[in-house]
Chain A
Amino acid sequence: MNKLISGVFPFKDKLIEAINTLKKEGFSDMEVKMPVPDHDILDAIDHKPTPVGWFTLFGGIAGLTTGFLGPAWAHSHWGNVIGGKPIISLPPFIVIMFELTILFGALATMAGLFLLTRLPSHKVLEKDEFFDIRCTEDHYALYVLSPEDKISTAEKILTMYGAEVRK
């Protein structure tokens, strides 16, 4: 039976040291709640890439296609020859394709983020008994999932690096 234990850190470097020590002791299932994304911490806990990137990719591809199909549709309906160019010709569409790629990509990223974090609802946070409001400002909370017999080791390491422990 695994149990969850959390420690709140005021400093980033102590947090990273604690993560490294925990990893040496064989703890692998860890999560950090932090006020801003931080690559050093993400690297330390061997963070796997989030699936949000896929939303961006498909949003971008959708934007690219729309950026081509929209003007192509409009041009083929209007049928006005401009400067002797073919009615459906790529160069002027590229600007629109580019803009819509970025727009749709950004919106899809937003949507993906909201979907994956269930954002407008607070249920995830309410269920989280260790949630600390300071993690939205200037503190870092480290959650460690540990087997019941090793929980005291985890607690000892967390306290050693100056964390406030909850379990």
Chain B
Amino acid sequence: MSNQERWIEANRTAIANVPKLGLVFLAFLILGAIGFYLGVGEGIRSLQAYWINFLFFAGIAQGGVILAAIHYVAKGKWGGPLIRIGLTNVAFIPVTVVLFIGIIIVAPKILPWVINSELAAGKEWWLNLDFFLIRNLIALVIMTIFSLVFAYFVIRPEAGVMKEKMGNSLFPGIFTKNWQGEEKEKERARRILRLLTPVMLFVYCIVYSMIGFDLVMSLSPKWFSTLFGAYFFITAIYTGIAVTIILSTFMRKQLKLENELNRDRFHDLGKLLFAFTILSTDFLWSQFLVIWYGDLPELNFFLLERTSYDPWQLLSWLILFCGFVIPFIALLPKITKRVPSLLSIIALISLIGVFLERAVMVLRSLDPGQGTVFPIGIVEILISLGFVGIYGIVMLWAMRRIPLVPEDSYISAAH
């Protein structure tokens, strides 16, 4: 068999073997709905859990696609199916726009500067509800369009080549509509992506900075940190990488991709996870140190209320340990990066770290004055499971519809 035939065969078996776990994830979704119902009686508890999970999962999905875009811009060949699994996240991005409808409904009930307009005094031109919702919705739609076009032109040439070779297509017809032959299509895709991808990365930084400022920082309207936006989009890529590792580890045996998802590839992505562990903590630290040193009353309350009293103090230490200390030490030796199951355990720990970070940032801002009750309970966990359910359903749906093994990486993995 030629390399190309083996590549097509690998894709065919991968798609045929995508696990049918739709019902499991549907059960998760139902659990999420139950959790939401349980929390409705307790003020804004369900709403803020929804808020956190929206931020977390939108970040994961966009982060996975951005990982693929960075890989493309850098002309990377090392990722192979790992990066394709990252790219699969593109299917969840339109869903985040739909989930934003929830945010539109929730926002007037929880945004402190909407409830008490004095908090936004002097900043009304930016912090007013209509502008807030419109700009974030538009930003998400822009990112959705960018991501979809990016994914489309990455997939299209491969889907077309496979259709040419096999006669019938493995993938939805939209990928091979108006097919003009391999040479021409590849050239066209290259031409479009060469311009689109760098612009997309740039727009991503702006859009996710703004979402960080608006959906997290504005919950505590008196507080500000210039680096917060950058911190937000870096941690989003961090979670995207972590989820890509976990999904790839699960899918490795299922999709019969042991040869393609080999240890060398996990080693490389593990190094990237390690780098992002350090980078995101660096950004967190840079903000912390300045506030700690300056000790200005308009800034330090934000840290004090999160680091000086239990239960928030405990959660802050957990964030530091799960998001940095444990992954940092665990990823130092080579073996943890080369064994997929170990690597995905570490990735899961760092995901928990980032999730807790989102939770602490959002939840503490929303209940000023109380802050004595442990903020994460059954409601929050169930709603998070609900989001895992939606995410899982969408990802499984998408995995059957894109080529999971890229052409170029298959050739380089063939020796």
Contacts and interface: CB of A to CB of B under 8 A. Distances in A.
Contacts of B288: 91
B285 A94 contact: yes
A26 interface: no
Contacts of A84: 295
A83 B293 contact: yes
B295 A95 contact: no
A92 B294 CA distance: 12
A83 to B, nearest CB: 5
A23 B294 CA distance: 64
B289 interface: yes
A94 B295 CA distance: 18
A60 to B, nearest CB: 10
A92 B285 contact: no
B292 interface: yes
B299 to A, nearest CB: 13
Contacts, number: 15
Contacts of B289: 91-92, 94-95
Interface string A71-111: 00000000000011100000110110000000000000000
Contacts of B292: 91
B293 A91 contact: yes
A94 B285 CA distance: 10
Contacts of A85: 293, 295
Contacts of A83: 293-295
Interface string B6-28: 00000000000000000000000
A84 B292 CA distance: 11
Interface residues of A, number: 7
Interface in B263-302: 285, 288-289, 292-295
Contacts of B293: 83, 85, 91-92
Contacts of A91: 288-289, 292-293
Contacts of A94: 285, 289
A92 B288 CA distance: 10
A58 to B, nearest CB: 15
Contacts of B294: 83
A29 to B, nearest CB: 24
A95 B293 CA distance: 13
Nearest to B288: A91
B229 to A, nearest CB: 23
Contacts of B285: 94
A76 B289 CA distance: 21
Nearest to A57: B332
Contacts of B295: 83-85
A85 B292 CA distance: 9
B158 to A, nearest CB: 28
A94 B288 CA distance: 12
A107 to B, nearest CB: 19
Contacts of A95: 289
A91 B293 CA distance: 9
B295 to A, nearest CB: 5
A85 B285 CA distance: 18
Interface string B55-76: 0000000000000000000000
A57 to B, nearest CB: 10
A88 to B, nearest CB: 15
A135 B293 CA distance: 54
A94 B293 CA distance: 13
B334 to A, nearest CB: 9
Nearest to B292: A91
Interface in B288-318: 288-289, 292-295
Nearest to B282: A98
B165 to A, nearest CB: 29
A92 B295 CA distance: 13
B136 to A, nearest CB: 34
A43 to B, nearest CB: 10
A50 to B, nearest CB: 13
Nearest to A49: B334
A46 to B, nearest CB: 15
A105 B99 CA distance: 48
A143 B102 CA distance: 68
Interface in B65-107: none
15 contacts: A83-B293, A83-B294, A83-B295, A84-B295, A85-B293, A85-B295, A91-B288, A91-B289, A91-B292, A91-B293, A92-B289, A92-B293, A94-B285, A94-B289, A95-B289
Among all A-B residue pairs, the 7 with the closest Cβ atoms: A91-B292, A83-B295, A91-B289, A83-B293, A92-B293, A84-B295, A92-B289
Given A83-B293, A92-B293, 9 more contacts: A83-B294, A83-B295, A84-B295, A85-B295, A91-B288, A91-B289, A92-B289, A94-B289, A95-B289
